[in-house]
């Protein structure tokens, strides 16, 4: 099993450009989430989804859009990149319910110049 796959692993964007971070899981997990990791701030929840067609905002949703058309995929869109969005982004998935814990992808390191 591949688990949670994130692409690309590295990306450099210019301010104002748009892009989509891809996330796919092959574990048939209902729950999926996107986090950003910044030094000293831990992981902050951007958006999450409890199933296909259902998404909700986390702690830091501004500047990011998501959709969940299938159980397997949960892409994160940056519509107009800003230097403040320079970060490491992690996608994660889980079985439904608060007790399982999430399985994480290996991350995407994004730099906005």
Partner 1 sequence: AQSVTQLGSHVSVSEGALVLLRCNYSSSVPPYLFWYVQYPNQGLQLLLKYTTGATLVKGINGFEAEFKKSETSFHLTKPSAHMSDAAEYFCAVSHHGSSNTGKLIFGQGTTLQVKP
- Where on the chain is the footprint of partner 1 (CB under 8 A)? 4, 31, 33, 35, 40-45, 48-50, 56, 58-59, 90, 92, 94, 98-99, 101-107
Least distance (Å) from partner 1 to the CB of residue 22?
15
Question: Given the complex with partner 1, which of 17 and 27 has the nearer CB atom?
Answer: 27
Sheet containing 19-25: give its strands across.
Answer: 4-7, 19-25, 76-78, 64-66
CB 43 → partner 1: shortest distance, Å? 4
Q: Which is nearer to partner 1, 64 or 90 (CB)?
A: 90
Nearer to partner 1 among residue 26 and residue 56 (C-beta): 56
Q: How far is the CB of 46 from partner 1 (least distance, A)?
A: 12
Long-range contacts formed by 81-84: CB under 8 A, 24+ apart: 81/13, 81/14, 81/15, 81/16, 81/17, 81/18, 81/19, 81/112, 82/15, 82/112, 83/15, 83/112, 83/113, 84/112
Contact present, 5 and 70 (Cβ < 8 Å):
no
Residue number, 14 or 98, with CB nearest to partner 1: 98
């Amino acid at each position: 099993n591949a688990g949670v796959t994130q692409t690309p692993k590295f990306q450099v964007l210019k301010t104002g450009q748009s892009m989509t971070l891809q996330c796919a899981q092959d574990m048939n997990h209902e729950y999926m989430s996107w986090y950003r990791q910044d030094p000293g701030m831990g992981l902050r929840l951007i958006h999450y989804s409890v199933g296909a067609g259902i998404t909700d905002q986390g702690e830091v949703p501004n500047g990011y859009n998501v959709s969940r058309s299938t159980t397997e995929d949960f892409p994160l869109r940056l519509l107009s990149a800003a230097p403040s969005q320079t970060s490491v982004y992690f996608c994660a998935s889980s079985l439904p319910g608060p007790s399982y814990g999430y399985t994480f992808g290996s991350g995407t390191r994004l730099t906005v110049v």
